[in-house]
Chains A and B, each alone.
Chain A
Amino acid sequence: MSDPLHVELVAADRVVWSGDASMVVARTAEGEVGILADHAPLLSLMVPGVVEVRTGGGETTRAAVDSGFLSVAGNRVSILAEQAVLASDIDAAKASKDLEDAEKGDLEDEAALGELRRARAWVLATERS
């Protein structure tokens, strides 16, 4: 059976992953969502986190994204993020160091907080895979 969903995971400067899948799991502002075939059209804000793309064959591709958008329409899923990296391309050591640095930062500051969330998502992506 061919996979029903066409998924495009797009970062600001390149296409990170594109292909067919049976299910997409992402973290939106409202919580985790799983997108299956024939999902209603949706445009949703994502928070930094891990996106999982599962294919019918049982393979799972994970990627870390910073905040962005999830748009679903007619079995087309586009995930737009300013930064997105496949879990397999993340340097685990660097990611955890980034997280440590970010934790030391000033957490009142919006930018530092954003960086912390991003770093956490990156580490999470490496841990799960």
Chain B
Amino acid sequence: MVASIREYRAKIKSTEATKKITRAMELIAASRVIRAQQQAAAAAPYARELTRAVSALATYSRVDHPITTEPENPTRAAVLVVTSDRGLAGAYSASVLKEAERLVEKLRTEGKEALLYVTGRKGVAYYKFRQRTLEDSWTGISDRPQYADARALGDALVGSFLTEDGGADEVHVVFTRFRSMLVQTPDVIRLMPLQVVEGEDKPESGEALPLYEFEPSASEVLDQLLPRYVYSRIFFCLMQAAASELASRQRAMKAATDNAQELILHYTRIANQARQAGITQEISEIVGGANALADANAGSE
């Protein structure tokens, strides 16, 4: 009986330690979500100005560029899957991967072969375990993406898209959209061929775009502008994914902390019961012993 009290005490102690850890992780994730949101807000002006410039070009000159032209019969599609580097974020990576699998399946029924590009250790591990070949992968950027990372990803994807033979005919991105602290949903966007004037903040329809002069020429500006537009969209996806990952980790850790608290209560109750049972038994033993002594003494006298 005494042993079982000790057992429960040990369990309570270890659960308390776990609870402290999950609580700390929850708080860290919470503060990082805010930072991730600020980062996303800080990057918004660049994306907005770039979108304006692209739409100006699209309106006033013929947008005829490999990045915006639909290939005639697409046979290969690159899929960029944005997952997390670390676990303990609930179903975050699992749901992105599920969405990615669905997309790959859909592409296959359309007769397109999927070329996988993966960010995040979780995704890499998932595909490695299933022995699927990855075209390329990046790790170590999931919770704090920098523009340079987006650029590296973009370079690879644009490069593959512009390759005539063996390259991708279209490029999709699977990432998690951050809708609110409570809701993050896996989402797919088609990055290339680019549909100009789409996206988060297209200029209002009433706003007339000025007649631009292009230096050195419209096509050269376009050559520079479109890849950057792609990079900026990838950056946007990475930032959304980072905020989602952190929000999802915060929620998972909150649930873990709550569960730990419940377990502690449960164990404390059992430990108290065991302690009480032990005391009751001791009292009844003492009373029983005293009675027996008293009876024996009464008998002998």
Contact B49 A78 (CB under 8 A): yes
* Alpha-carbon separation in the docked complex, A14 to B43 (Å): 5
* Alpha-carbon separation in the docked complex, A12 to B210 (Å): 24
How many residues of chain A have a CB within 8 Å of chain B?
24
Main SS of chain A's interface residues? strand
Contact B56 A13 (CB under 8 A): no
Contact B212 A43 (CB under 8 A): yes
| Residue in A closest to B213 when the chains form the complex, CB atoms | A42
Q: Which A residues are CB-close (under 8 A) to B210? A: 41, 73-74
Q: Which of B17-69 contact A (CB under 8 A)?
A: 39, 42-43, 45-46, 49-50, 52-53, 56-57
* Alpha-carbon separation in the docked complex, A80 to B221 (Å): 13
Decide if A45 is an interface residue (CB 8 Å cutoff).
Answer: yes
| Residue in A closest to B215 when the chains form the complex, CB atoms | A44
Decide if A67 is an interface residue (CB 8 Å cutoff).
Answer: yes
Which of A45, A69, A71 is in CB contact (< 8 Å) with B216? A45
Q: Which B residues are CB-close (under 8 A) to A15? A: 42, 45
Main SS of chain B's interface residues? helix
Contact B53 A45 (CB under 8 A): no
Decide if B2 is an interface residue (CB 8 Å cutoff).
Answer: no
Q: Which of A79-118 contact B (CB under 8 A)?
A: 80, 82
* Alpha-carbon separation in the docked complex, A43 to B225 (Å): 10
Most A Cβ at <10 Å: residue of B42, B49, B146, B147: B49
| Residue in A closest to B223 when the chains form the complex, CB atoms | A45
Decide if B9 is an interface residue (CB 8 Å cutoff).
Answer: no
| Residue in B closest to A69 when the chains form the complex, CB atoms | B53
Q: Which A residues are CB-close (under 8 A) to B214? A: 42-44
Decide if A10 is an interface residue (CB 8 Å cutoff).
Answer: yes
Contact A29 B215 (CB under 8 A): yes
Q: Which B residues are CB-close (under 8 A) to A124? A: none
Decide if B235 is an interface residue (CB 8 Å cutoff).
Answer: yes
Contact A45 B42 (CB under 8 A): no
* Alpha-carbon separation in the docked complex, A74 to B207 (Å): 12
Q: Which of B111-167 contact A (CB under 8 A)?
A: 146-147, 150-151
Contact B221 A44 (CB under 8 A): yes
Decide if B220 is an interface residue (CB 8 Å cutoff).
Answer: yes
Which of B42, B56, B231 is in CB contact (< 8 Å) with A43? B56
Decide if B180 is an interface residue (CB 8 Å cutoff).
Answer: no
Known A69-B53, A80-B49, A82-B151; judge A13-B146 contact (CB<8 A).
Answer: yes
| Residue in B closest to A41 when the chains form the complex, CB atoms | B210
| 13 other A-B residue contacts (CB within 8 Å) besides A28-B215, A42-B215 | A8-B45, A13-B39, A13-B147, A29-B216, A41-B210, A42-B213, A43-B212, A44-B215, A45-B224, A69-B224, A69-B225, A73-B209, A73-B210
Binding site for A on B (CB under 8 A): 39, 42-43, 45-46, 49-50, 52-53, 56-57, 146-147, 150-151, 209-216, 220-221, 224-225, 228, 231-232, 235
